[in-house]
Structure 1
Amino acid sequence: MKVYEALAAAFVEEGTTDVFGMMGDANMFWMNALAQRGVRQYEVRHEGSGLGMADGWARAAGRPGVVTTTSGPGVSQLATSMLVASRARTPLVAFCGETAWGDQTAAQYLDQGRFAAAIECGFVHLSRGDLAEEVVQKAFYLARTESRPIMLSAPMDIQQHEYEDNGPYVPSTQLIDRPRLLPDPSRIERARDIVAASKHVVIIAGRGARGSDAGEQILRLQKRTGAMLATTLQAKNWLYGDTDYHVGISGLFGSRVAMELLQEADCVIAVGASLNSYTTEHGYLFPEAKYIQIDTAPNLVMGNGAVADCYIQADANTGLAELTASLERESVTIEGFHTQEVRRRLTAPLIDPSEFRSQPDLLDPREAIVVLDAELPPELDLVLGSGHQTDFGTMLFQRSREITSNYGMFGAIGQAPLITIGSIVASGRPAFVVEGDASFLMHLSEFETAVRYGIPILVVVMNDQALGAEYHKSRAKGLDVDLAVIPTPELGRVAQSLGGDGATVRTTDELRAALAEYVRQPRPTVIDVRITRDVLSVPYRRLWFGEDV
């Protein structure tokens, strides 16, 4: 057996079923060995795109995704997507071929260890052939336990060495023992006393709570405390259909009603949420509240620069169950926000249709989002990208569906379609992504990848024919807005030329028809929604003009 074969066999033992990337001299033997073992491989048009897809695959599958590149430039192409995955704390393993061990004169030589450190990636190096299984085990162990990307760098000459099989491979999962974190009873009592003395409790559920599937415990605590349920951006719409008292996102992307109601809170219980500056509006959103925080980390400093009044280190389910049980023993029951008046305010439309401001052949982006939310079944997962146009969807998508937001992950546009492709491969379900025109065009070639593999992605391009964020910031700062205007071709036709379906729409009727066609037969599709630049999103109004309308 060759070393590359041992490496491939170890990846399979770690559960690898799908690999994204590009073939080159330094990884081609490993890729062939994987194919012989039944691993599906997705050849992409850019290595960084492959990593973005592996990122989406990992987020959907809940285990490390895998990307591969050849040496040198193949590795350096990973930079932006690797930083996005690192900031998102995505577990993945990048199998990166390397030039012959020690040959610094090779044209594709790169100090891949130093490069990995620069792009916030863990690094494991294959320095000897007999370490093949050990380095794979270590790479997956680190990806899983540290929840981050790990680069496994394998010199091409060492991959060709002979390998002596030393017995059954031990997957990294067998080395991981995660005992349940039990909360300190004295802190549970302290949290109970804070809640018991409160009148208006808010529960903020974050990505950690969602990942722990702690929804049932959150709803139990909400019912007993009369709490308003809010989420962080990364848990958007979670549990939305399970309670009448869900106010949406807390913070910058919250509605005006959310802002007004959350101001009344005198107790905030954060579950699996870091309470960063966006979630708390730098501490201004909850001026009178005491904070209880439940998280697995040893401690966290909130976005307002303070620590919680009561910090409980525990897994979400256990911490919530203990707190609720303590409240039950003391017969603590609070009406709180659970009134008919609050319910009336929560059920009012987020935006009055009379406010829509369409132009000839251009849609109001808010109206476009309302149509998308109504016409696309909740079974379709949603990925939200970055940039000004994404703000509309972030605030206005209301149906309860699986939502992944890439907002704030290194501030990199263009990643969301890649993440969506990977998530579809992992889940086996169609999904849609809402992205801007500049963002989509950044990795246009990967739509052809989706077509080639029959991946049923729907790309909704909110097309203002500009760098939308820069256009509005330029206006706010008195700069020349025309410098941010970039015309685009009809992207529906571009999608058709690449072998997929597509439409360019300028009215709500055209949009509904295009959506109906995708729902009828999901396949790679681009809907180019032409929108006006005259509508500014609420977060941008808040940030650049001090408005909240």
Structure 2
Amino acid sequence: MKVHEVFADALLQHGADVVFGLMGDANLSYLADYRDRGGRFVAAVHEGNAVGMADAWHRRSGRIGVASITHGPALTNSMTSLVEAVRAGSRMVVVTGSTPLEPTHFQRLDLSASALASGAGFEVVTKAQNVVRHLNRALQRTVAENRPIVLDLPIWMIDADAGDQRMISPPQHASPQVPDPDSLDEALGLLSSTPRPVVLAGRGAYDAGAKDALIELAERIGGALATTLWARDLFAGHPSNIGIYGNLAHSVASSAIGEATCVIAFGASLNPLTTYRGELTRGKKIIQVDTDPGRFGWFIGVDEPISGDAKAVAEAMNEALTDAEHEPSTGWISGIQAALAAHDPHDDFRDISGVDTVDMRSASIVLDELLPAQRTVVADVGRYIRGTLPFLAVPEPRNFVGMGAFGSIGLGLAGAIGAAVAASGELTALVVGDGGLMMNFAEFSTAVRERLPLVVLTFDDGAYGAEWDKLVAGGSDPLYSTMVWPDFADLARAFGGQGLTVRTLSDLDGLPTLLEGLAGPLLVDIRLDPAAITV
């Protein structure tokens, strides 16, 4: 068999039944074989979006994502999405290929230098008879290293004889790390001496399956439950759940965070967004539990670091507290539970809707009610995030994909497409600004072609919002940040989807009808006043 045949077969044997990409000289042969063998190839308009789709597909499904692009400019086009995936710790393989062995080839590029510059790992197929061996290794490395691996399958090998090759499946999960007893004792001593603790779960805690153990721990120590944005809604429905810890917290959570004397974080990096650059942890004792010791103290100081698996550490703590017959103080948490039970999100703000614009917070509360409860939410980045994400719940953390690890706007639409493919018929809602949407609107055609049940919630202030705020702060005219866009609803219809323009909350009344049997993307253009955004 030829290399392109063996490689296509190996992808499917490894369970890679979906590949995102863009065809070119370096990959068209094996992609054609892959499709002939029954694999699903989701063709993107742009290589960067193909990588973003595979990234979000991994985050939503938990499986290794695969993107296939050609050589040279295909990889440079993908750099921003590749850095995003690196920063998010996504497990994925990006297959590219060296140009023909001709030093004057106009698409030549040092693939290894480009991959390493992004922070990704790099693997190169050394000879035709090793193609499966290197695919095996790339898949093994992305699991072991928790980062994307760029796999170079050189174009001059594609038609070579591959011989007989053997597939080796990668491990899907690392083995749990058991905590050091001395570290555990120190942390428990600190916990026992603090009156108002918060148990904070990050995405690492969710991935470790630590939910039940963390709830038990919070109940044993009389603590509140909180999450990072990426682990959002992990504790939804629990009476002690204060929700997102950080600058997206609601009023009750903000009060609880301010009163807390200790934070014990599981699988959370404690980055500046979670801690508000250290303001929300200042004066508190900090215990950090993580499998990666390199995270300890990276963003803020830590009193007690514990290297170990979130679930294993929480279970060990619960066992120790049981043995010690520890009795929690419940006065503080009882007050928080009462405040949470009485909390109404409308109480946290004053609606600032205009004559033909809406308050995005009010719109998000309505959307939360109108969209089906079983949904996936994907977010681009922008100032609208603070007025939208706190009000749009998800069933569990896996159903939230935040395309903001690198801080680049414009990655959300590709992420939403990848997540929608992974969600397999479940509604996916994208939260995006007008500027970020316009960066890659051509990819809307991919959602149409794939007939994805996708709702693009465009929070449209006709400006680059962060720049508006900074121009105002600097005493300059904020109108310099405004843009004149085409009508988004008309664009959506022109691309073969549906469109709805929202200037008043009542315009959302027709949304449930549009969602019935949705078999393609729907764009909802929610008009905002750039000068009236106060969050």
SS in 1 for 2:225: strand
Is the CA contact 2:437–2:458 (under 8 Å) kept in the aligned structure 1?
A: yes
1: CA distance between counterparts of 2:283 and 2:106? 62
Is the CA contact 1:276–1:302 (under 8 Å) kept in the aligned structure 2?
A: no
Q: How does 1:146-295 map to 2 (within 5 A)?
A: 146-166=145-165, 168-173=166-171, 178-241=174-237, 243-295=238-290
Deviation at 1:122, TM superposition (A): 1.3
SS in 2 for 1:434: strand
1: CA distance between counterparts of 2:304 and 2:256? 23
Deviation at 1:159, TM superposition (A): 1.4
2: CA distance between counterparts of 1:87 and 1:5? 33
Deviation at 1:181, TM superposition (A): 1.0
Deviation at 1:6, TM superposition (A): 1.7
SS in 2 for 1:240: coil
**Equivalent residue number for residue 498 of structure 1:** 495
Taking a change above 3 Å as real, the CA distance of residues 288 and 118 of structure 1, as seen in their structure-2 partners, is closer
The code of the aligned residue for 1:93 comes to V
Which segment is superposed worse, 325-334 or 450-459?
A: 325-334
2: CA distance between counterparts of 1:405 and 1:62? 12
Taking a change above 3 Å as real, the CA distance of residues 282 and 368 of structure 1, as seen in their structure-2 partners, is same
The code of the aligned residue for 1:123 comes to F
1: CA distance between counterparts of 2:517 and 2:6? 45
Q: How does 1:300-379 map to 2 (within 5 A)?
A: 300-302=295-297, 305-306=300-301, 308-334=302-328, 335-340=330-335, 342-344=337-339, 347-352=342-347, 355-379=350-374
Taking a change above 3 Å as real, the CA distance of residues 150 and 8 of structure 1, as seen in their structure-2 partners, is same
**Equivalent residue number for residue 21 of structure 1:** 21
1: CA distance between counterparts of 2:532 and 2:341? 24
Deviation string, structure 1 residues 69-90 (Cα, Å, up to 9, x no partner): 1121122211111111111111
2: CA distance between counterparts of 1:303 and 1:94? 29
- The reply to whether residue 124 of structure 1 matches residue 123 of structure 2 is yes
Q: How does 1:5-154 map to 2 (within 5 A)?
A: 5-100=5-100, 102-154=101-153
Deviation at 1:377, TM superposition (A): 2.1
SS in 2 for 1:337: helix
The code of the aligned residue for 1:264 comes to E
Taking a change above 3 Å as real, the CA distance of residues 240 and 337 of structure 1, as seen in their structure-2 partners, is farther
Taking a change above 3 Å as real, the CA distance of residues 275 and 474 of structure 1, as seen in their structure-2 partners, is same
Deviation at 1:354, TM superposition (A): 7.6
The code of the aligned residue for 2:371 comes to L
Is the CA contact 1:257–1:346 (under 8 Å) kept in the aligned structure 2?
A: no
1: CA distance between counterparts of 2:46 and 2:66? 15
Which segment is superposed worse, 46-55 or 104-113?
A: 104-113
The code of the aligned residue for 1:197 comes to S
5+ long unaligned stretches in structure 2: none
**Equivalent residue number for residue 531 of structure 1:** 528
2:466 alignment partner, one of 461, 469, 473: 469
Taking a change above 3 Å as real, the CA distance of residues 297 and 537 of structure 1, as seen in their structure-2 partners, is farther
Deviation at 1:525, TM superposition (A): 0.6
**Equivalent residue number for residue 423 of structure 2:** 427
1: CA distance between counterparts of 2:403 and 2:495? 28
Taking a change above 3 Å as real, the CA distance of residues 5 and 214 of structure 1, as seen in their structure-2 partners, is same
**Equivalent residue number for residue 297 of structure 1:** 292
Deviation string, structure 1 residues 363-399 (Cα, Å, up to 9, x no partner): 1111111111121122011112201112211333356
Which segment is superposed worse, 3-12 or 410-419?
A: 3-12
The code of the aligned residue for 1:162 comes to D
SS in 1 for 2:345: coil
The code of the aligned residue for 2:114 comes to F
SS in 2 for 1:203: strand
**Equivalent residue number for residue 545 of structure 1:** none
2: CA distance between counterparts of 1:287 and 1:180? 31
Is the CA contact 1:232–1:250 (under 8 Å) kept in the aligned structure 2?
A: yes
5+ long unaligned stretches in structure 1: 539-549
Taking a change above 3 Å as real, the CA distance of residues 401 and 181 of structure 1, as seen in their structure-2 partners, is closer
- The reply to whether residue 507 of structure 1 matches residue 504 of structure 2 is yes
The code of the aligned residue for 2:467 comes to E
Deviation string, structure 1 residues 333-389 (Cα, Å, up to 9, x no partner): 221532146522563223338810111111111111111112112201111220111
Is the CA contact 1:474–1:481 (under 8 Å) kept in the aligned structure 2?
A: yes
Is the CA contact 2:56–2:401 (under 8 Å) kept in the aligned structure 1?
A: no
Is the CA contact 1:83–1:120 (under 8 Å) kept in the aligned structure 2?
A: yes
% identical equivalent positions: 32
Deviation string, structure 1 residues 122-143 (Cα, Å, up to 9, x no partner): 1111231111111111111111
Deviation at 1:226, TM superposition (A): 1.4
The code of the aligned residue for 1:322 comes to A
The code of the aligned residue for 2:391 comes to L
1: CA distance between counterparts of 2:91 and 2:432? 24
Is the CA contact 1:188–1:326 (under 8 Å) kept in the aligned structure 2?
A: no
1: CA distance between counterparts of 2:197 and 2:287? 10
Which segment is superposed worse, 77-86 or 259-268?
A: 259-268
**Equivalent residue number for residue 546 of structure 1:** none
Deviation string, structure 1 residues 190-239 (Cα, Å, up to 9, x no partner): 22211211111101110101112211111111111111111112112221
- The reply to whether residue 413 of structure 1 matches residue 409 of structure 2 is yes
The code of the aligned residue for 2:344 comes to P
Considering only aligned residues, what root-mean-square deviation do their CA atoms show, in Å? 1.9
TM-score of the superposed pair, with normalisation by structure 2: 0.95
SS in 2 for 1:534: helix
2: CA distance between counterparts of 1:302 and 1:518? 46
2: CA distance between counterparts of 1:537 and 1:272? 32
Deviation string, structure 1 residues 45-78 (Cα, Å, up to 9, x no partner): 1111111111111111212111111121122211
Is the CA contact 1:43–1:449 (under 8 Å) kept in the aligned structure 2?
A: yes
2: CA distance between counterparts of 1:504 and 1:177? 44
